[in-house]
């Protein structure tokens, strides 16, 4: 099916070619990524609250997937942020993506996260990246300048071609200074982290949160 949702937190802004299937992911395929996602949920970097973002779920995590002739990635499904833990029915398998065409192809029991296009852009830029996290963190977002974090342009909205282009613009600059965290200037509280493993991606985000929390209050 094709979808083009816009204007709200946590919904897709790209075209999705989605094949609904309940059998494309095994429990083993999500085991590691799910353990790290539970940590992110406990830290409220992924979640859902009636007091935030109009009550919509926020945050997602993905893991590169190379098997069975597929070169893609597993990502948490749209609007799954409120669940403390997920099963295979809450993840989607992205099998193709094209930032220039603003499109994503996926299969699973649930459509992919609204940030799947941005995740795919990072995987495209660096074959060594194995995990991408999109978290929501007011402390990091509001201290991005003080922390020296690279920030996407405010006019680049999440899940769009513009955001994918901004990520490409900043990705190599961040790597040159040893950073694995980008701030999404046009997406309130939005931050991205990535790494060669789920551990590396999540730890990069948590370490940055620690730095933000240690910053003196004005």
* pLDDT tens, residue order, the chain (218 aa): 233 323 334 445 667 789 999 888 999 999 999 999 999 999 999 999 888 878 788 999 999 999 988 999 999 998 899 999 999 999 999 999 998 888 899 999 999 988 899 999 999 999 999 999 999 999 999 999 999 999 999 888 877 788 888 999 999 999 889 999 999 998 889 999 999 999 999 999 999 999 999 988 76
Question: Can you say whether the dihedral through the CA atoms of 190, 191, 196, 199 is positive or negative?
Answer: negative
Among 122, 101, 91, residue whose Cα is nearest residue 184: 122
The helix, strand and coil proportions of the chain, stated in percent and rounded to the nearest 5, come to 35, 25, 40
Domain presence at residue 1: no
**Residue 130: predicted pLDDT:** 98
Among 116, 168, 146, residue whose Cα is nearest residue 12: 116
Strand order from edge to edge, sheet including 131-136: 15-20, 103-108, 91-98, 70-76, 60-67, 131-136, 190-195, 181-183
**Residue 161: predicted pLDDT:** 81
**Residue 99: predicted pLDDT:** 85
Domain presence at residue 194: yes
Rg (CA), the chain: 16
- Which CATH number do you get for residue 166? 3.40.225.10
Domain presence at residue 3: no
Domain presence at residue 177: yes
Q: List alpha helices for the chain, DSSP H.
A: 27-42, 116-125, 138-142, 144-147, 161-176, 198-214
Domain presence at residue 6: no
Q: Please, what is the end-to-end C-alpha distance for the chain in angstroms?
A: 50
What residue numbers bound the domain in which 88 lies?
15-214
Domain presence at residue 9: no
Domain presence at residue 32: yes
**Residue 15: predicted pLDDT:** 77
Total domains in the chain come to 1
**Residue 92: predicted pLDDT:** 96
Domain presence at residue 10: no
**Residue 2: predicted pLDDT:** 33
> Which pTM was predicted?
0.91
């Amino acid at each position: 099916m094709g979808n083009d949702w816009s204007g709200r937190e946590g919904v897709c802004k790209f075209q999705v070619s989605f094949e609904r299937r309940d059998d494309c992911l095994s429990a083993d395929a999500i085991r590691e990524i799910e353990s790290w996602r539970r940590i992110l949920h406990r830290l409220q970097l992924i979640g859902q609250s009636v007091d935030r973002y109009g009550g919509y779920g926020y945050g997602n995590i993905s893991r590169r997937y190379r098997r069975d002739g597929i070169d893609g990635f597993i990502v948490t499904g749209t609007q799954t942020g409120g669940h403390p833990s997920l099963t295979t029915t809450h993840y989607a398998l992205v099998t193709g993506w094209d930032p220039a065409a603003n499109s994503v192809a996926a299969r699973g029991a649930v459509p992919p996260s609204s940030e799947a296009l941005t995740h795919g852009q990072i995987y495209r830029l660096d074959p060594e990246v194995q995990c991408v996290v999109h978290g929501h963190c007011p402390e990091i977002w509001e201290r991005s300048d003080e922390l020296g974090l690279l920030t996407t342009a405010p006019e680049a909205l999440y899940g769009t071609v513009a955001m994918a282009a901004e990520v490409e613009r900043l990705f190599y600059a961040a790597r040159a200074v040893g950073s694995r965290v980008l701030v999404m200037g046009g997406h309130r509280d939005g931050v991205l982290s990535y790494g060669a493993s789920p551990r590396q991606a999540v730890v990069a985000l948590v370490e940055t949160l620690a730095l933000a929390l240690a910053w003196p209050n004005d």
